[in-house]
Structure 1
Amino acid sequence: MSSDETNPGLREDPEALLNPRSDPGGGAFGALGAEAGSDLNWLKMIRHRVQTKVAGSSRYQWWVLWSLLAGLLQVAKEFHTTKGILTWTMVGPLLANGLAAPIFGKAGDILGHRRLYLFGLGGAAVSAILTALAPTVITLLGARALDGIQAAATGTASAALINLMFHRDERVKAMGWWSLIGAGGPVFGVALGAPIIAAWGWRAVFWTQLVLILVAMVVVSTILPSGRGTPEEEAVSKAKARKEFKQMDWIGSWTLSFSVTGLMLGLSFGGQVGWTSPLCMVSWTIAVVCIVAFIFRIRTADRPLIPPHYFAKRNFVMPMLVRASANFAYFGAFFLFPILMEQGYGYSIGKVGAISIARPLTFAICSPIAGYVAVRIGERISAIAGMTFLTMSLFMFSLLQPSTGTWVVVVALALSGLGMGVAMPSSSAIMAHAV
């Protein structure tokens, strides 16, 4: 008997395949505990897996961020600016991404996650062109901030698609594969970006990105599902989403945005202009006032941006703290490492790129494996183990000396990637289960 006969829902709604419980090939991956069926079922299973990879491929757009880090000194020399200013080529996109994500999260429910994904890819293409043609450092920073905004669109859309595709029990495994794709971005960026920068300059990286984005738009248009459920169900869902979007706590969203921006401005420029300079004092004041307003808003608004009862849940708060501290260490070291290697050890861009691969490559390899292991040993234990590996990595970096061998640096980088690869899927799954 065919799968369509045993499950009529598959015949009536092909997109029901997005449910892992209906995935005829899921047994081969340990999802159902049953063996795969006919050749047709295997074709459907392959389509399901490809959709999953495409849904997570938005994270590859961050590869240019890591490529640009390899050529940071080259960019600073061209624009006659400082490395401190150019930190915003990384801070700007990450900050814009975090601020835009809540808005796009609601927009995806209204527009459809596939459409939002394509919108984000279009924004990525515009950002790549603006960056490649940037005549000034201000234009460069603006283009990179735009890239963070589009990444919020593709990121929220891909996360929503993955959550829809996988049952709660399988979600930590899916998050592991998603982390693999996210970690693959830096591997791809360092491996491809460093030689490109050395041969043709940093602008060539973004022309390369533009070509890849156009290919991605074609693939996404072909593979990702256009909708779920019947037209009537989608109409009801979109009407509900529009109502929620209008009722969204915009005051809370903007106060959170300004508080984070003020804090980041103060931290970025304090070392150059003085921590008590007028610029920093204004930034600190904006940050404090806005964060107080945000806290008041989430406690009093009818539909707060973040429901306050979430903060009473240990499984929501602790993973947030884990991710914040882990990303602080991981991204901070990622930014400083190329500068240390080029200026402190005199390495070439190509050699820095080759050594840097150890961190994201370990992250990429460990993430999917960690997702499966977490199902057996528990997500909390996995998160603790990951943070332990990351701490060991930072300790090794703190002991570096001018005479330290390259192998020590590689081991420290690998431990950092291992820690993030083990901790991130579990922390994401814990938070998803809590809310």
Structure 2
Amino acid sequence: MKSIIAGRIEAAADGTQRTSSVRWALAGLSLSMLLASLGTSIANVGLPTLAQAFGVSFQAVQWIVLAYLLAITTLIVSVGRLGDIAGRRRLLLAGIALYTAASALCGVAPALWLLIGARAAQGLGAAIMMALTIAFVGETVPKARTGSAMGLLGTMSAVGTALGPSLGGVLIAGFGWRAIFFVSVPLGLLTLLLAYRHLPLDRHDPKTDRPGFDSLGTLLLALALAAYGLAMTLGRGHFGPLNIALLLAALLGAAFFLLVEARVPSPLIRLAAFRDALLSGSLAMNLLVSAVMMATLVVGPFYLSRSLGLEAAIVGIVMSIGPAISTVSGIPAGRLVDRLGAPVMVMVGLVAMAAGSLALSLLPALFGVAGYVAAIAVLTPGYQLFQAANNTAVMADVHADQRGVISGLLSLSRNLGLITGASAMGALFAIASAATDIATAAPEAVATGMRITFAVAAALIVGAIAIAGASRRIAGRPSRSAKAS
């Protein structure tokens, strides 16, 4: 009897210890996501100060932001795959260490070229952190709580993005521009400590069983994505010969990449994975949804200032409402996914986003700022619900040796959506406004552009709903081989 009681006490203690370790591991993963998102937004507010500090043009100083974004976009799939092969824990630790060291280097950089190089290195660290943080959820969190974990990571991503501009402004005003990079150093060290102590150890498989790393495929994909990213960001949405040349280079690079992947023994991305309707559909939906969310960041400030006549400070407050709603809705969204299931919540999230996009097209013209805020209050929780459900659905049944690359593909589709949304939705807004310069356009023209842009956004979300339904039908259809048997 005593032995049974002692065994139960020991099991209970072991369970409590394991739960505590999971919580600390999730805290480390959350900080990792926070840091990567913070690095995306905190530098933007400092660009005017940096241009003055280095005595360079705004076009030159833009590369401080572009270097970070391009490094993430071009390398996020590759580092995910490298984590699958070499070990996710050791690579994540290396990524956090690189991000932290690069942040310190950004803070002491004496010249612009060195700052841009350090930002690229910081972007590589962020790519590792973004790709492997989602991949680690399957190894650290019980399956029944996956949705909650995804919701928490979505919340931390929103917090980092929302915190960046305000924190950056305070730090620059109080301590100078170098502080916006130094602030990530102690946070990075804390993240590194938590990850080192609480993340599960990598499994040591025999070296003969390990697949090789697809170096050529990695290079081709990086070049194609870099060309696409530059095509979509240079010229601020105005396409010229250089943008067209870069798009053609991206298409050519993608074609060569597909040829290589079909022939190498250990491809970076198994092309057969895209025959999975659920994966392909999820990536396509992620891209469309991210493009729509970027439209709120690109179009919103112009509409609030030019059409509604709000002062800059009030515009900032109104624009912060969306990220604030994201922050408080992420964890509840994840819990709903755990309770009601990912497929259902994907649909619910998309329907809410369609309603929110349509509301952004109609309500601000009728009710002004109140209409804008009401529409955002519908759109943003829908986005958080979709993200938590979509990530959970994709990662639920992924084989352990593919978690890194699939997680990287999810992050890549989101980044491509953000880049495409900034360019394409911004260009649509300008065309719909019928103005050569949005900054000086008439209030009525800007209102027209807002209405048309978000009507198109609603149509894109309806397209995502159609993709969700079609992918579920195809995935549920028995294969020919199954029928034959």
**Same fold by TM-score greater than 0.5:** yes
Residues 117 and 157 in structure 1, CA contact (< 8 A), matched pair in contact too: yes
Structure 1 residue 340, shift from structure 2 partner: 7.0
Are 1:252 and 2:220 counterparts? Answer: no
Are 1:193 and 2:164 counterparts? Answer: no
Equivalent runs, 1:256-335 vs 2, <5 Å:
256-270=221-235, 275-277=239-241, 279-334=242-297
Corresponding residue for 2:79? 104
Are 1:81 and 2:57 counterparts? Answer: yes
AA aligned opposite 2:30: G
Q: For the residues of structure 2 that align with 1:69 and 1:412, how far apart are their CA atoms? A: 26
- CA spacing shift, 1:376–1:45, aligned 2, 3 Å: closer
AA aligned opposite 1:372: R
Which of 214, 222, 231 in structure 1 is aligned with 2:189?
A: 214
Which of 372, 381, 392 in structure 1 is aligned with 2:335?
A: 372
Deviation digits for residues 55-108 of structure 1, max 9, x if unmatched? 2321111213223334444445555433x6666544543332233233333443
- CA spacing shift, 1:219–1:172, aligned 2, 3 Å: closer
Corresponding residue for 2:382? 419
Structure 1 residue 364, shift from structure 2 partner: 2.6
In structure 2, list runs of 5 or more residues that go unmatched: 399-485
- CA spacing shift, 1:326–1:4, aligned 2, 3 Å: farther
- CA spacing shift, 1:330–1:347, aligned 2, 3 Å: same
Q: For the residues of structure 1 that align with 2:396 and 2:190, how far apart are their CA atoms? A: 35
Corresponding residue for 1:157? 132
AA aligned opposite 1:81: S
Are 1:5 and 2:43 counterparts? Answer: no
- CA spacing shift, 1:312–1:41, aligned 2, 3 Å: closer
Deviation digits for residues 19-77 of structure 1, max 9, x if unmatched? xxxxx7xxxxxxxxxxxx56x74354223212222123211112132233344444455
Equivalent runs, 1:21-40 vs 2, <5 Å:
37=12
Matched residue SS, 1:184: helix
Corresponding residue for 1:172? 147
Corresponding residue for 1:19? none
Structure 1 residue 285, shift from structure 2 partner: 2.8
Corresponding residue for 2:205? 236
Higher mean Cα deviation, 399-408 or 373-382? 399-408
Higher mean Cα deviation, 364-373 or 263-272? 263-272
Matched residue SS, 2:204: helix
Higher mean Cα deviation, 213-222 or 120-129? 213-222
Corresponding residue for 1:118? 93
- CA spacing shift, 1:143–1:81, aligned 2, 3 Å: same
Q: For the residues of structure 1 that align with 2:43 and 2:365, how far apart are their CA atoms? A: 26
Q: RMSD value over aligned CA atoms?
A: 3.6
AA aligned opposite 1:288: L
Which of 35, 38, 41 in structure 2 is aligned with 1:63?
A: 38
Structure 1 residue 171, shift from structure 2 partner: 2.4
Q: For the residues of structure 1 that align with 2:310 and 2:363, how far apart are their CA atoms? A: 11
Structure 1 residue 430, shift from structure 2 partner: 1.9
Q: For the residues of structure 2 that align with 1:174 and 1:180, how far apart are their CA atoms? A: 10
Corresponding residue for 1:231? none
Q: For the residues of structure 2 that align with 1:405 and 1:58, how far apart are their CA atoms? A: 38
Aligned residues: 392
Higher mean Cα deviation, 87-96 or 295-304? 87-96
Residues 98 and 122 in structure 2, CA contact (< 8 A), matched pair in contact too: yes
AA aligned opposite 2:220: T
Deviation digits for residues 330-356 of structure 1, max 9, x if unmatched? 2454366567778974414xx665444
Q: For the residues of structure 2 that align with 1:367 and 1:260, how far apart are their CA atoms? A: 29
Corresponding residue for 1:363? 326
AA aligned opposite 1:68: A
Q: Relative contact order (alpha carbons < 8 A, sep ≥ 6): 1 or 2 greater? A: 2
Q: What fraction of aligned residue pairs are identical, expressed as a percent?
A: 21
Q: For the residues of structure 1 that align with 2:6 and 2:205, how far apart are their CA atoms? A: 27
Which of 118, 138, 141 in structure 2 is aligned with 1:143?
A: 118
- CA spacing shift, 1:66–1:334, aligned 2, 3 Å: farther
Q: For the residues of structure 2 that align with 1:399 and 1:135, how far apart are their CA atoms? A: 50
- CA spacing shift, 1:280–1:48, aligned 2, 3 Å: closer
Q: For the residues of structure 1 that align with 2:330 and 2:124, how far apart are their CA atoms? A: 26
Structure 1 residue 287, shift from structure 2 partner: 1.2
Instruction: Give TM-score, length-normalised by structure 2.
Output: 0.69
Residues 69 and 335 in structure 1, CA contact (< 8 A), matched pair in contact too: no
- CA spacing shift, 1:413–1:76, aligned 2, 3 Å: farther
Higher mean Cα deviation, 324-333 or 401-410? 401-410
AA aligned opposite 1:59: M
- CA spacing shift, 1:151–1:158, aligned 2, 3 Å: same
Instruction: Give TM-score, length-normalised by structure 1.
Output: 0.76
Q: For the residues of structure 1 that align with 2:34 and 2:180, how far apart are their CA atoms? A: 14
- CA spacing shift, 1:145–1:391, aligned 2, 3 Å: farther
Residues 194 and 353 in structure 1, CA contact (< 8 A), matched pair in contact too: no
AA aligned opposite 1:5: G
Residues 73 and 225 in structure 2, CA contact (< 8 A), matched pair in contact too: no
Which of 312, 316, 331 in structure 2 is aligned with 1:347?
A: 312
- CA spacing shift, 1:339–1:150, aligned 2, 3 Å: farther
- CA spacing shift, 1:346–1:357, aligned 2, 3 Å: closer
Residues 371 and 425 in structure 1, CA contact (< 8 A), matched pair in contact too: yes
